[in-house]
């Protein structure tokens, strides 16, 4: 097992540094009283003077920039991301409440779109140049062109508004008092459309990458070796070509995760799904700046962590990697 | 790598479709004032009108002509898309070639920054910055460009690096060619097609992001945008007006992105000659 | 065991294999040799039915035509009956599976053995192929090229197939691993039937019982390995051997003129052949048995261009040429070596008819030469020892070279002039007006000899007799003229009778050497053999007296 490479560690450090400096510097670059620029005019109006004084003290907002920086990091260590005036609660707590919903949505769609994309890519690449391959390619590329929020809107209109078979909004039926199996079913019903939208919108990435790799892999001499061994088509397709074609997909999942966050944001808004995306949207609407900053930091950390995991698993999939480095 | 881009694109049917659809949207945008008939911002008392001869797509909640909004929206999409495409590609070209040619510490630092920018969820950064800045179209263009060059820089660098090692460049060096000559005769011509593909893809991302940002409320208040139309229409999705209010903007946006995708994909053999003759079939 | 009948493979309009017939017996190793692009690899892949293109003809394995089998039955034939050792230039092994798993795979998938049994067998095979146990669970990239090749060999043996196709099994290896892998292959030789596909003649010679020479999709010569590779009968086989660097050939490397083309009607080799006749360009020759091997040639293989039988010539009491019988094949250089006065020049002049013979016969392409008419001289030309004497001082360079054409009355004056100028260019002389109108006494010795050569070549003869052509030149000019003559031989497919007193020179330019002593031929043989192991005492004297820097510095 390979440890975190120096190169990747540096990448993660730079990414984190960029986000932190953005969070710290951006509001302080704005003209005006730091408390106001960090929390926004709307927030100040609603905050009690005690709370305002408390925040100024907590983040050393009346001190020099360096002391503010020290206080900022000290707070980060305590898990203190500031205060949300709109939810009237610490930002960290607000985000933590929404995080599971987003993880569920992103996890399901990432898994579904990757697995489906890889399988379709392998099948399509195997049939390269045939009519099936060409129509799959055109179809998925077209699908790739549809923005995820528009896919969501269309699904919402078709299944929610016209057919009325699936719920329009939320993550579960409010005040229904459901429990056990019925609750799970209710949540799945609410998840169906958002997950489908995201999966459809991201299917093409995995598909296109797998298909392209598949086409080059099929020309490799070891495929001729495998055919000469008289192996069945299934083995040729999946054990020999497919395994090799999957490799770049794995490298990309980390990056796709970042992109999926964008998609989730839009899709959550379309379906009023109570995850981080919808939270960000609400925060934007109500100018609850502290929440946006917190979401940015937390999502960045999560994406970096996921990338790290992908890095680790890659060396297990491709023996050449651990050897080469 | 000597590929005829024009041939690659026009010889694939998705490529031809992409060019045609893109051309239609460009024409819509160019002749928007002629096609619109109404000022897209002008409000009237005739709200929620169904499509008719005078209002081909009806009117919205404040009585604005939706068809007019749609054709003016094409202008915004294309303007943002093309500007961001140009700016990001320029940035990618500068960063990528300089990293490849200079190398060393500069190269490794720049590339780590590129990697970092690739994993950061850009959309939230945009939302945060937009929340503070309350942007107009130009700040959106600059923001999207500043956050959209990293993937291209990586590709350009890889290509420039392999070019540097290639024998025809080595041969030119062995005849005593200087850096400027190399750039002019060998590096830039070979990078050209790649930059063009990169431009196409950044344009695509920019069109999508512009609409997405407008959809969640980050847009220039003085400009019409397909994202804005969709956001406003979404609020009335319970009324039966979405068919002519919401869908046309969504379809137009999708068509534009699909057409750019097809154009870009048909150019891809340029990036990976191994795909030639199969992907474009 | 394996029979290939009229096998034709084409990609679009290109015929990669054009009617191949061959049989391989049980336990035999047949080598398919040829240049790259000859269709060797395609032949191997077609036997396993791995080419995705139009295939006609039959591939019979144990009497079953595998080309007609349904795909699922073919899958059973692959590896169970025929397996293949692939060229390991790049990635013949899948990079993401361990080599042991890849050797196990065919046994398990074909249900030859169960998994644990297969694992054991694969370990045994890898060990037998010389891969140490601790490397069995490695991934391909962790092994050296030679080790990967051993894995491929072990894998080919996995299902104990009847036939193993070896496709350039050692070409990508360095010399040391190559020797080891060849030794390994040699040690397994009797257990299976092998088809060795290679362009490496040395490997073919080491491993094969029989050799088939493939050219542009057709077999041109087939026979026992030692026969074909040491005494080629087809002009192409000889050309292939001549262009192959090895430690036994002493003559300078020569390529084959022109390049391979598949678009020709008739014999595919005829555009490059030195002895092509009209039939060669219209009909494709069939592979026919002749003297213990098979040759596909309208001329029956390399022909004897000129032969003398018991040729005699005396000047008074002195027998200058005393019953000489020799033969020169088409495209061959025969060096005639002897001391001055041994009768070499007399022999040449007698052949040319410049001295009437006292007895014996001269045959040109098997026909007895009764009178030496213009036709004879169009085919046989001579370059004399001293160009200064053989070139008339009253004629300019152009007139000199044009003279034979004028005498033969070939073409118009302009045509003759153009031809002469072209040949002057061919011998690397300037062709500007000034030079063309120079007279011989203004030329250097080297230039004069080139003019003499041009004059001899202007009639496009098929045999050039060169009588000590470099005797009057200093060593560097001598080397240049010799190179020129070798180049001309390659370009024009000339046969040459090269007369010299210096056996070291003969060794560099000739395929065969005949040693003349007192008007008789005393020894004759392949240049390499004759110079390294001379038999006749006189030959030994010649070899011992030849220039040898090594023994000058290290006397034994």
Q: What is the structure's pLDDT at C165?
A: 94
Give the pLDDT confidence of C461-503 residue by residue, as tens digits: 999 999 988 887 888 888 888 888 888 888 888 899 999 998 8
Q: What is the structure's pLDDT at C372?
A: 86
Q: What is the structure's pLDDT at C121?
A: 93
> Cβ(C32)–Cβ(C197) under 8 Å?
yes
Give the pLDDT confidence of C244-270 residue by residue, as tens digits: 776 566 666 666 667 777 767 888 888
Say which of A128, A285, A299 has its CB closest to residue B121: A299
Query: How many angstroms separate the CA atoms of A178 and A193, rounded?
Result: 20
Q: What is the structure's pLDDT at C13?
A: 80
Q: Is the pLDDT of residue A43 over 90?
A: no
- The overall average pLDDT reported for chain C is 88
Per-residue pLDDT band for B152 (boundaries 50, 70, 90) equals confident
Query: What DSSP string describes B124-153?
Result: HHHHHHHHHH---HHHHHHHHHHTS-HHHH
Q: Do B123 and A254 touch (CB under 8 A)?
A: no
Instruction: Determine the residue of chain C that is closest to A219 in CA distance.
Output: C91
Q: Is residue C223 packed enough to be buried (19+ CB in 10 Å), middle (13-18) or exposed (0-12)?
A: buried
Q: Is the pLDDT of residue C114 over 70?
A: yes
Any idea which of A224-238, B27-41, C144-158 has the lowest mean pLDDT?
Answer: B27-41
CA atoms lying within 13 Å on the CB side of residue A322: 15
Query: How many angstroms separate the CA atoms of A119 and A237, rounded?
Result: 10
B92 min Cα distance to partner chain A (Å): 18
Which residues from chain A sit within 8 angstroms of residue C77, using beta carbons? 230
Q: Do A323 and C110 touch (CB under 8 A)?
A: no
Give the pLDDT confidence of B247-277 residue by residue, as tens digits: 888 888 888 888 998 888 888 766 554 444 3
Say which of B120, B130, B131 has its CB closest to residue A15: B120
Per-residue pLDDT band for B48 (boundaries 50, 70, 90) equals low
Q: What is the mean pLDDT of residues C181-186?
A: 87
Q: Is residue C553 packed enough to be buried (19+ CB in 10 Å), middle (13-18) or exposed (0-12)?
A: exposed
Q: What is the structure's pLDDT at B274?
A: 45
Per-residue pLDDT band for B104 (boundaries 50, 70, 90) equals confident
Q: What is the structure's pLDDT at B2?
A: 46
Are chains B and C in touch, 3+ Cβ pairs below 8 Å? no
Q: Is the pLDDT of residue A5 over 70?
A: no
Cα-based distances in Å from A118 to A103, A113, A144, B78: 22, 8, 15, 33
Q: C92 and chain A: CB distance < 8 Å anywhere?
A: yes
Query: How many angstroms separate the CA atoms of C284 and C215, rounded?
Result: 13
Q: Do C78 and A227 touch (CB under 8 A)?
A: yes
Question: Which ranges of A162-288 would DSSP assign to H, the alpha helix?
Answer: 180-218, 221-228, 233-234, 243-270, 276-285
Which of A126, A218, A222, A313 should we substitute to test contact with C (largest number of C Cβ atoms within 10 Å)?
A: A222
Any idea which of B125-134, C38-47, C129-138, C275-284 has the lowest mean pLDDT?
Answer: B125-134
A274 min Cα distance to partner chain B (Å): 15
Give the pLDDT confidence of A78-133 residue by residue, as tens digits: 777 877 878 888 888 899 999 999 989 999 999 999 999 999 999 999 998 889 99
Residues 6+ apart with CB under 8 A from B104: none
Q: Do A243 and C96 touch (CB under 8 A)?
A: yes
Closest CA to C125 of C144, C141, C107, C139: C107
Closest CA to C84 of C136, C138, C158: C158
Say which of A235, A317, A318 has its CB closest to residue C109: A235
Query: How many angstroms separate the CA atoms of C426 and C424, rounded?
Result: 5
Which percentage of chain A shows pLDDT scores above 90? 13
> Cβ(C497)–Cβ(C348) under 8 Å?
yes
Per-residue pLDDT band for A2 (boundaries 50, 70, 90) equals very low
> Strands, E, within C133-246: which ranges?
163-167, 193-198, 210-215, 218-224
Which percentage of chain A shows pLDDT scores above 70? 93
Output phi, psi for C70, to 5 deg.
Answer: -70, 155
Chains in touch with C (3+ beta-carbon pairs under 8 Å) read A
A127 min Cα distance to partner chain C (Å): 14
A287 min Cα distance to partner chain B (Å): 7
Q: What is the structure's pLDDT at C61?
A: 92
Q: Is the pLDDT of residue C213 over 90?
A: yes
Q: Is the pLDDT of residue B280 over 70?
A: no
Q: Do A156 and B279 touch (CB under 8 A)?
A: no
Instruction: Determine the residue of chain A that is closest to C87 in CA distance.
Output: A221
C187 min Cα distance to partner chain A (Å): 23
Q: What is the structure's pLDDT at B1?
A: 41
Q: Do B120 and A161 touch (CB under 8 A)?
A: no
Q: Which of residues 303-322 of A touch B (CB under 8 A)?
A: 303-304, 307
> Cβ(C360)–Cβ(C401) under 8 Å?
no
Give the pLDDT confidence of C282-293 residue by residue, as tens digits: 888 888 888 889
Query: How many angstroms separate the CA atoms of C155 and C159, rounded?
Result: 8
> Cβ(A203)–Cβ(A214) under 8 Å?
no
Q: What is the mean pLDDT of residues C518-542?
A: 89
Give the pLDDT confidence of A143-164 residue by residue, as tens digits: 888 888 888 888 888 887 777 7
Are chains C and A in touch, 3+ Cβ pairs below 8 Å? yes
Q: What is the mean pLDDT of residues C426-448?
A: 89
Q: What is the mean pLDDT of residues C105-116?
A: 90
Instruction: Determine the residue of chain B that is closest to A143 in CA distance.
Output: B258
Classify strands C288-290 and C210-215 as parallel, antiparallel or unpaired: unpaired
> Cβ(C331)–Cβ(C495) under 8 Å?
yes
Query: How many angstroms separate the CA atoms of C484 and C425, rounded?
Result: 12
HEC assignment per residue over C287-335: CEEECCEEECCCCCCCCEEEEEEEEEEEECCEEEEEEECCEEECCCEEE
Round the CA-based radius of gyration of chain C to a whole number and report it.
Answer: 28
């Amino acid at each position: 097992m390979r440890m975190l490479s120096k190169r990747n560690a540096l990448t993660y450090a730079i990414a984190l540094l960029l986000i932190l400096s953005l969070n710290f510097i951006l509001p302080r670059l704005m003209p005006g009283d730091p408390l106001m620029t960090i929390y926004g005019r709307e927030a100040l109006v609603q905050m009690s003077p005690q709370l305002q004084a408390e925040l100024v003290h907590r983040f050393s907002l009346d001190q020099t920039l360096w002391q503010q920086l020290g206080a900022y990091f000290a707070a980060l260590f305590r898990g203190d991301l500031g205060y949300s005036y709109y939810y009237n609660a610490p930002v960290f707590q607000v985000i933590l409440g929404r995080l599971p919903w987003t993880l569920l949505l992103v996890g399901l769609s990432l898994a579904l779109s990757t697995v489906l994309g890889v399988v379709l890519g392998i099948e399509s690449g195997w049939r390269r140049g045939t009519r099936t391959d060409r129509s799959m390619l055109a179809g998925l590329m077209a699908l790739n062109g549809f923005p995820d929020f528009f896919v969501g809107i269309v699904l919402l209109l078709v299944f929610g508004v016209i057919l009325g078979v699936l719920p329009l909004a939320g993550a579960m039926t409010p005040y229904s008092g459901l429990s056990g199996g019925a609750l799970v079913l209710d949540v799945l019903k609410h998840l169906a459309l958002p997950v489908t939208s995201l999966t459809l919108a991201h299917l093409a990435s995995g598909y296109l990458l797998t298909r392209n790799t598949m086409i080059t892999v099929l020309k490799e001499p070891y495929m001729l070796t495998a055919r000469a061994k008289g192996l069945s088509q299934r083995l040729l397709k999946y054990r020999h070509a497919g395994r090799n074609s999957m490799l770049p997909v794995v490298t990309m999942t980390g990056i796709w995760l970042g992109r999926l966050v964008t998609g989730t944001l839009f899709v959550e808004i379309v379906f009023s799904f109570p995850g981080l995306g919808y939270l960000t949207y609400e925060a934007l609407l109500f100018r609850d700046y502290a929440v946006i900053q917190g979401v940015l930091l937390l999502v960045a950390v999560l994406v970096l962590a996921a990338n790290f995991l992908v890095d680790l698993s890659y060396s297990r999939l491709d023996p050449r990697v651990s050897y080469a480095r | 790598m000597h590929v005829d881009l024009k041939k690659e694109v026009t010889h694939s049917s998705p490529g031809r479709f992409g060019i045609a659809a893109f051309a239609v949207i460009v024409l819509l945008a160019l002749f928007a004032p002629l096609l619109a008939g109404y000022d897209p911002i002008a409000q009237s008392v005739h709200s929620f009108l169904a499509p008719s001869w005078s209002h081909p797509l009806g009117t919205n909640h404040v009585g604005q002509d939706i068809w007019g909004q749609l054709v003016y929206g094409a202008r915004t999409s294309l303007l943002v898309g093309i500007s961001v495409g140009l700016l990001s590609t320029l940035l990618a070209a500068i960063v990528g070639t300089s990293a490849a040619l200079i190398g060393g510490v500069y190269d490794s630092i720049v590339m780590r920054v590129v990697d970092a920018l690739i994993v950061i969820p850009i959309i939230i950064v945009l939302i945060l910055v937009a929340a503070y800045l309350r942007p107009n179209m130009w700040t959106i263009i600059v923001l999207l460009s500043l956050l959209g060059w990293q993937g291209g820089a990586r590709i350009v660098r890889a290509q420039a690096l392999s070019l540097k090692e290639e024998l025809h460049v080595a041969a030119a060096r062995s005849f005593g060619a200087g850096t400027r000559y190399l750039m002019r005769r060998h590096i830039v011509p070979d990078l050209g097609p790649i930059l063009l593909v990169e431009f196409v893809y950044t344009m695509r991302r920019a069109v999508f992001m512009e609409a997405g940002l407008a959809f969640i409320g980050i847009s220039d208040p003085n400009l019409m945008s397909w994202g804005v139309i969709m956001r406003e229409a979404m609020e009335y999705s319970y009324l039966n007006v979405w068919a002519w209010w919401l869908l046309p903007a969504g379809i137009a946006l999708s068509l534009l992105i699909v057409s750019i995708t097809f154009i870009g994909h048909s150019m891809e053999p340029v990036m990976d000659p191994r795909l030639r003759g199969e992907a474009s079939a | 065991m394996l029979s290939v009948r009229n096998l034709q493979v084409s990609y679009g309009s290109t015929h990669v294999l054009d009617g191949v017939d061959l049989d391989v017996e049980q336990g035999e190793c047949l080598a398919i040799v040829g240049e790259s692009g000859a269709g060797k690899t395609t032949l191997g892949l077609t036997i396993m039915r791995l080419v995705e293109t139009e295939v006609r003809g039959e591939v019979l394995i144990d009497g079953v035509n595998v080309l007609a089998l349904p795909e699922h039955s073919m899958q059973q034939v692959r590896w169970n009956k025929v397996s293949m050792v692939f060229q390991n230039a790049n990635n013949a092994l899948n990079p993401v599976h361990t080599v042991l798993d890849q050797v196990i795979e065919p046994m398990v998938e074909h249900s030859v053995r169960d998994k644990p049994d297969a694992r054991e067998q694969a370990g045994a095979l890898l060990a037998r192929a010389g891969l140490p146990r601790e490397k069995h669970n490695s991934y391909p990239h962790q092994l050296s090229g030679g080790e990967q090749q051993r894995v491929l060999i072990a894998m080919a043996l996995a299902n104990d197939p009847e036939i193993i196709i070896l496709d350039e099994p050692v070409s990508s290896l360095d010399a040391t691993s190559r020797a080891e892998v060849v030794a390994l292959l040699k040690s397994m030789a009797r257990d299976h039937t092998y088809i060795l596909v290679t362009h490496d003649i040395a490997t073919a010679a080491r491993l094969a019982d029989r050799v088939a020479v493939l050219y542009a999709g057709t077999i041109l010569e087939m026979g026992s390995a030692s026969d074909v590779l040491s005494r080629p009968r087809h002009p192409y086989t000889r050309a292939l051997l001549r262009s192959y660097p090895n430690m036994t050939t002493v003559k300078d490397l020569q390529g084959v003129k022109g390049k391979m083309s598949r678009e020709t009607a008739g014999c595919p080799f005829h555009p490059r052949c030195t002895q092509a006749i009209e039939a060669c360009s219209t009909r494709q020759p069939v592979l026919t048995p002749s003297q213990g091997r098979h040759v596909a040639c309208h001329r029956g293989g390399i022909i004897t261009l000129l032969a003398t039988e018991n040729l005699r010539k005396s000047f008074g009491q002195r027998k200058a040429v005393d019953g000489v019988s020799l033969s020169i094949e088409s495209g061959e250089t025969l060096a005639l070596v002897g001391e001055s006065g041994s009768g070499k020049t007399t022999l040449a002049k007698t052949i040319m008819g410049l001295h009437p013979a006292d007895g014996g016969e001269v045959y040109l392409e098997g026909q007895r030469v009764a009178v030496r008419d213009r036709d004879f001289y169009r085919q046989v030309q001579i370059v004399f020892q001293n160009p200064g004497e053989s070139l008339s001082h009253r004629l300019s360079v152009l007139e000199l070279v044009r003279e034979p054409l004028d005498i033969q009355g070939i073409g118009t004056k302009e045509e003759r002039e153009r031809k002469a100028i072209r040949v002057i260019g061919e011998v690397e002389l300037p062709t500007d007006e000034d030079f063309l109108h120079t007279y011989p006494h203004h030329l250097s010795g080297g230039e004069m000899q080139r003019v003499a050569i041009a004059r001899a070549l202007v009639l496009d003869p098929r045999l050039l007799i060169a009588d000590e052509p470099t005797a009057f030149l200093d060593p560097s000019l001598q080397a240049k003229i010799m190179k020129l003559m070798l180049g001309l031989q390659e370009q024009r497919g000339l046969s040459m009778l090269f007369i010299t007193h210096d056996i070291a020179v003969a060794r560099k330019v000739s395929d065969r050497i005949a040693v003349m002593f007192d008007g008789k031929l005393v020894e004759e043989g392949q240049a390499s053999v004759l110079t390294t192991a001379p038999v006749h005492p006189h030959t030994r004297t010649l070899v011992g007296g030849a220039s040898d820097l090594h023994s000058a510095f290290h006397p034994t």
